[in-house]
Amino acid sequence: MELLMPSFGLLFWMTLVFLIVLVIMWRFGFPAVSKMVLERKKFIDDSLQQAFEAKEKLAHIQEESEAILQKAREKQAEILNTAKATHDTIVAKAKDDAREEANKLIADAKAQIEAEKSAAIQDIRSQVAELSVHIAEKVIRKKLSDDSSQMQVIDNLLDEISVKK
């Protein structure tokens, strides 16, 4: 029976010891452990979620980059086409311009040649006239030694001029 009777002294010390253990457990003990474990669990869950999201984002980005690349390629083709067209126009326009310019130059040259030609003809004509006058002068100086001939020549000349007129 003695084994079944709780002794007062032991009960007293047990109360004291257990309360101390309880307080230590409460203040410094395992709640910290479970708190930390729950925090860690949350952290792991969050990390997993983040990794999942990042993966998804990555896939999205890849898709996006693919689309951008495709767009760029299209744009490139478009730009190239436009450039070619522009190039063609420019070349055509340049050719036209050149032709026009050439024509103009040729026309100018022709006009100038014409003008110079007529000037030259004029010049020659005046020189010929001058020469003729000189020659005539000399001839006349020689022939007008007698009056009869002189008169004849003058008459001839006058005739000529009058005929001409």
Residue 146 as a binder of other proteins (CB under 8 A): the answer is no
Segment 14 to 33, residues that bind other proteins, using CB under 8 A:
14-15, 17-18, 20-22, 24-26, 28-33
Give the position of tokens 């999201």. Answer: 53
Residue 48 as a binder of other proteins (CB under 8 A): the answer is no
In 3-state terms, what secondary structure has residue 110? helix
- Cα 75 vs. chain centroid, distance in angstroms? 15
Q: How many binding residues for other proteins (CB under 8 A)?
A: 36
Q: Is the dihedral of CA 51, 52, 55, 60 positive or negative?
A: negative
Residue 39 as a binder of other proteins (CB under 8 A): the answer is yes
Contact 143, 153 (CB under 8 A): yes
Q: Which burial class, exposed, middle or buried, applies to 95 when counting CB atoms under 10 A from its CB (0-12, 13-18, 19+)?
A: exposed
Residue 67 as a binder of other proteins (CB under 8 A): the answer is no
| Stretch of 13-21, 80-88, 116-124, 129-137 contacting other proteins, by CB under 8 A | 13-21
CB of 52 to other proteins, least distance (A): 19
| Stretch of 34-42, 68-76, 107-115, 152-160 contacting other proteins, by CB under 8 A | 34-42
